[in-house]
Structure 1
């Protein structure tokens, strides 16, 4: 979070319109989290598929804990904590707020029950309504904190869905979270095209007063050399060619850590892919389905993305190249709501890249590092981004399970190079010659 989002010095009254908009967005976001959990059973909500994932019940409680600790306790006089034990159970990584239940063991929290978590959410929502209706709830400072909470909950809505997929993929029943789409286009993808960009000094980072995370600032100049960017994402059909050509068995294509990981984990295809006599299948939120050739490849690690790019004779774009292209295209997340599957590229236009948002997050070759002049915000909330700026890679864009409106050209997502349970894919780049 940018420091200005947390400064208490400015307490100018909000206009009625602004206050209403914040309240409406807040409770719409809170309701959407419950709607995402609605297809699940109580048993689904308690299980943790792996250490990187968290149970649905934990996500629903953690985002509520966030509002309780960062909004209600400091700002609502007389607020009654729902359960003091929840601070230990549902703190994620905020060292300043005390000890917490180990992340790899969140699936052991059979208590509190899902019913009690829903009661917790109702208790906090009622208090948030009281706060926003009060005089102390009409400040810019509080509005900024609630905006952080909204965006934080949206991030966990995406995590909730990807963690459900990890859970359902581990089940021998291969259940579907959502009914399978009909009339899927199984034709081959169209040829990949290239868009050229001139180099120069470009302004990178968030510039407007609209909301952003602290890691998107400060804005600064970056030298970008002339480059070419693929007009669409890499597809399943192209990935199948990589597999058939021995991509997973050719050491020269891989970074050293990647090659070690491939052999240790016995990777032979993207995560959630399975091969049978009938061909390749992929586990999705719609259940186990045949791999669709023209859809973007998903659930690949940075190591795999880098190896594929080398096999193709190309490279991954830098995050500055990606941002420059996205800003020029004025692209936004326009994926239809509740379409939880990457879609094939449509509407070819040689002037602007497609699929920048709404299909898969896209690996870049850029390490996740602070921008020049970056300083993390003071206090516990400053732990959100800054302390993770080590050993991770930047991803850009947004996926098919990213909430609408939760994306922008300057957004910097980040994961470790081996992680692939998120909807992550790639777009190729090359030098301009």
Structure 2
């Protein structure tokens, strides 16, 4: 087993990457906020989410904090608004009551910050401090904006009214279908996490050896069709399959299907970004909580993979004895590898993207749907909070479950084989699905 490697990247290439990542994020932000009216921007479409205009100004405020203030040492442009856009001071449900910047003012503020940031990027050495090393601070801010773009896309899904977003559908599967429904991942050690990825966030670090026993894992995520069999067999009415807290949750809220599904005339329909349509059997199931994923796995006589199992299936190359950046290798994702970046507004059909398969043949580990794992969100051995505790450390513990792999709503800059997401096990509005595993 070899350690992870990552080639050195020239400063001019790093600058180009940072500028491209920041530009792409801002274009997406504009696309998500320019398509709705000002009243829609300032409204709260769900108590689970912020008003879109809060996200818009928060993006600029965090960019100003970390790049103009902490990197360049400049005074704040609008110091009086800092507390309004501190996510830890104000829960989402309370943000509409705050004296927020209006839509045009928020756009002007974010644009002014971005102009100064590009000037800073042009003349700042990408070395010398941990924040500047290999352009980390600029990469962190690009990821932060893309993460809020995903959050705003969730708000669009929760928003009532006519559809305002459009995108082409994914292509049907290209190439041969998977040879088997599950893949055996041999036991043994592998390198988990990373110490070499330039823009990896603190919870992905450091790289360390993890021992994992042999296990079987689904070749593709669980589909809508498979999940409907669970529903039809009384899965939501049988407490045998449910963790106690999950059973209480579905009873209290009368949950009997994934979020946004409804039964009409003997057919399952779903609402997707303002459009009501039949649930496609061959797509990965979407908008299920950890409790629902766990219950399905128990019903199927299986279980959710642990986080370490998921990462080994996604990154470990048995022939080379090393961990890759992505299932397919070290190259950045392309549309041939995965469904990422809001290029589509839905998951691709199960079995797509054979070019993105892992060395053992597991498909769609990156993109399409976030995949719940069995694991609590915990630090790796040697973890060090950076650059602030509130990104990861305050969330560690059994309250949050780990999700892996990204979704169609995740930009490639914020998705890699080591990237860790986490959420409360009750969450359903996120773009979450799962695959199952079993021991040998």
Out of 288-297 and 38-47, give the one that drifted further: 38-47
Written as runs of structure 1 = structure 2, the 5 A alignment for 1:235-314 is: 235-277=223-265, 279-285=267-273, 287-314=275-302
Q: Note the residue ranges of structure 2 that are not aligned, 5 or more in a row.
A: 1-9, 318-326
What is the CA distance between 1:54 and its match in structure 2?
1.7
Q: 1:162 aligns with which of 154, 163, 169?
A: 154
Q: 1:26 aligns with which of 22, 26, 32?
A: 22
Distance 1:375 1:125 in 2: 29
What is the CA distance between 1:86 and its match in structure 2?
1.6
What is the CA distance between 1:26 and its match in structure 2?
2.2
Deviation string 1:12-62 (CA, Å, 9 cap, x unpaired) is xx8444334423332332233112323222222222233332222111111
User: Contact 1:301 / 1:424 at 8 angstroms: preserved in 2?
Assistant: yes
Deviation string 1:116-170 (CA, Å, 9 cap, x unpaired) is 1001112111221332344xx234244321221111111111111012212x2xx
Written as runs of structure 1 = structure 2, the 5 A alignment for 1:94-133 is: 100-109=89-98, 111-133=100-122
Q: Note the residue ranges of structure 1 that are not aligned, 5 or more in a row.
A: 1-13, 94-99
Residues 1:227 and 2:232 are matched in the alignment: no
Out of 265-274 and 28-37, give the one that drifted further: 28-37
Distance 1:147 1:382 in 2: 18
What is the CA distance between 1:184 and its match in structure 2?
9.0
Deviation string 1:77-98 (CA, Å, 9 cap, x unpaired) is 6x463333321211112xxxxx
User: Contact 2:18 / 2:142 at 8 angstroms: preserved in 1?
Assistant: no
- Cα gap change, 1:276 to 1:45, in 2 (>3 Å): same
Out of 359-368 and 100-109, give the one that drifted further: 100-109
TM-score, normalisation: structure 2: 0.84
Distance 2:195 2:71 in 1: 29
User: Contact 1:234 / 1:425 at 8 angstroms: preserved in 2?
Assistant: yes
Aligned to 1:144: 136
- Cα gap change, 1:181 to 1:29, in 2 (>3 Å): closer
User: Contact 2:66 / 2:137 at 8 angstroms: preserved in 1?
Assistant: yes
TM-score, normalisation: structure 1: 0.86
Out of 299-308 and 118-127, give the one that drifted further: 118-127
Residues 1:330 and 2:328 are matched in the alignment: yes
Which stretches of structure 1, 4 residues or longer, exceed 6 Å deviation after superposition? Answer: 182-185, 189-192
Distance 1:302 1:326 in 2: 20
Counterpart secondary structure, 2:37: coil
User: Contact 2:401 / 2:424 at 8 angstroms: preserved in 1?
Assistant: yes
What is the CA distance between 1:397 and its match in structure 2?
0.3
What is the CA distance between 1:423 and its match in structure 2?
0.6
Aligned to 1:355: 364
User: Contact 2:167 / 2:345 at 8 angstroms: preserved in 1?
Assistant: no
Aligned to 2:198: 210
What is the CA distance between 1:399 and its match in structure 2?
0.4
Distance 1:183 1:393 in 2: 29
Aligned to 2:38: 42
RMSD: 2.6
User: Contact 1:178 / 1:285 at 8 angstroms: preserved in 2?
Assistant: yes
Aligned to 1:85: 80
Deviation string 1:290-344 (CA, Å, 9 cap, x unpaired) is 1111111000000000000000011111111111111144365622652010111
What is the CA distance between 1:109 and its match in structure 2?
4.3
Q: 1:318 aligns with which of 306, 322, 326?
A: 306
Distance 1:75 1:184 in 2: 43
Residues 1:345 and 2:350 are matched in the alignment: yes
Counterpart secondary structure, 2:41: coil
User: Contact 1:46 / 1:109 at 8 angstroms: preserved in 2?
Assistant: no
Distance 2:180 2:276 in 1: 28
Out of 272-281 and 387-396, give the one that drifted further: 272-281
